[in-house]
Amino acid sequence: MRSEGALRSLPAHRMRHCRCVAALAWCAIAWAGMAIGTARELPEFAVENPAPGVYVHYGQQAEMTAANFGDVANLGFVVGSRCVAVIDTGGTYAVGRALRQAIRRVTAIPVCFVINTHVHPDHVFGNAAFVDDHPAFIGHVHLADALRRRGQNYLNALNRDLGDAAWRSAIVVPTRAVATSDDVDLGGRILQLHAWPTAHTDTDLTVFDRESATLWLGDLLFVGHVPVLDGNLRGFLAALTEVKAIRAKLAVPGHGRALAWPDALVPEQHYLEDLRAEVRAAIDARRTLAETVASVDVGRGQWLLYDQFHRRNVTAAYAELEWDD
Ligand SMILES: [Zn+2]
């Protein structure tokens, strides 16, 4: 406002010149802002504190877009007396940084661990925001290999689809692998990690905070958002039977909110069981893949993002079950 006032008192040609200079200066400031990231901040990032030392950010139930910065998965952190453990970091550097800022509003103790529940981009690309903290990056024993195989394609797609909102997102491979189970000590607080046989993906890892009985399921649990099959249907259903037996007070799904445990798991279990039964029946009736994809619509109308993922699930189930006895 002040510069506009000063410009008004100048002759017209000088004013044009100054407007031009002012515009350039504004551009330079804006560019500098972009360069240091101020223009790439999430507009808001809410974190809930459902139990002492447990913090959860619920991502949007949406596909990753520039407008939402890839903030579509649930993330959070657990605070011990010595260390913070982060559980998933979001779909972009911007989400990871917002999560890191949320941690710093709660505590100044170091982030010693960044745990990824699986390979999907909406859960891992915020890792880059924690590199300077030098944590142990922890994942399923297959995660490093999965990131090497898929990571660059994920990153290319992220940059293509989100453009500037994907700024500084990067592949960060785990430095500590979990083959079956492992404990992480945050100082007077133990997190139990469990690596699963192929289910939602071949890199699924769950986290259980013993102190609060909070179970972080990653994408072994979808609530609202249609379940996604990118691993093995038989393994997914087997994993659900096992996780259901865990006595948790609070469950954090990869997407959506679990209002009761283990009841929150039931709709997903039904969807996957129905998917298996209908695809099995289609194969037995010698229907082609295309016919099966066109005809199997279990759960239609009951799930968010159904059109984006359901047909892919049918395709994956068909490929798996086609060669089953
Ligand atoms: Zn996933």
Contacts of residue 261, Cβ cutoff 8 Å, sequence gap at least 6: 215, 248, 249, 250, 251
6: exposed, middle or buried (Cβ count in 10 Å: 0-12, 13-18, 19+)? exposed
**89: CA distance to ligand 1 center in Å?**
13
Which amino acid is present at 23? A
Could you give the CA distance from residue 155 to residue 108 in angstroms, rounded to a whole number?
31
* Residue 98 near residue 41, CB atoms below 8 Å: yes
For ligand 1, the distance from its centroid to the CA atom of residue 45, given in whole angstroms, is: 21
What's the CA-to-centroid distance between 282 and ligand 1, angstroms?
26
How far lies 34's CA from each of 29, 64, 171, in Å? 9, 21, 22
Ligand 1 centroid, distance to 37 Cα (angstroms)? 27
117 CA to centre of ligand 1 in angstroms: 9
pLDDT at 4: 33
Distance 155 CA to ligand 1 centre (A): 15
C-alpha 224/C-alpha 312 separation (Å) is: 17
Measure 323 CA to ligand 1 centroid, in angstroms.
Answer: 25
- pLDDT for 42 equals 87
Name the token pair of 129. Answer: 């925001």
User: What separation in Å is there between the alpha carbon of 321 and the centre of ligand 1?
Assistant: 21
Looking at residue 33, its pLDDT comes to 40
- Whether residue 60 contacts residue 72, with contact meaning beta carbons closer than 8 Å, is answered with yes
* Per-residue pLDDT of the chain in tens (325 residues, 90 and over written 9): 333 333 333 334 443 443 444 444 443 434 444 444 445 788 889 999 999 999 999 999 999 999 999 999 999 999 999 999 999 999 999 999 999 999 999 999 999 999 999 999 999 999 999 999 999 999 999 999 999 999 999 999 999 999 999 999 999 999 999 999 999 999 999 999 999 999 999 999 999 999 999 999 999 999 999 999 999 999 999 999 999 999 999 999 999 999 999 999 999 999 999 999 999 999 999 999 999 999 999 999 999 999 999 999 999 999 999 987 6
Contacts (Cβ under 8 Å, ≥6 apart) of 1: none
Separation of CA 239 and ligand 1 centre (Å): 15
Q: What angle do CA 305, 244, 116 make, to 5 degrees?
A: 60
Distance 311 CA to ligand 1 centre (A): 16
How many angstroms does the Cα of residue 108 sit away from the middle of ligand 1? 30
What pLDDT score does 195 carry? 98
pLDDT of residue 57: 98
Q: What is the pLDDT of residue 219?
A: 98
> What's the 120 CA to ligand 1 centre distance in angstroms?
5
- Distances in Å between the Cα of 43 and the Cα atoms of 46, 68, 98, 322 are 10, 9, 10, 47
Identity at 27, one-letter amino acid code: C
Ligand 1 centroid, distance to 200 Cα (angstroms): 7
Q: Ligand 1 mean position to 106 CA, how many Å? A: 28
- Which residues place a Cβ less than 5 A from the ion ligand 1? 120, 219
**pLDDT value at position 265?**
97
- The per-residue pLDDT for 39 is 54
User: What's the gap in Å between 219 CA and the centre of ligand 1?
Assistant: 5
**Cα-to-centroid distance, 1 and ligand 1 (Å):** 48
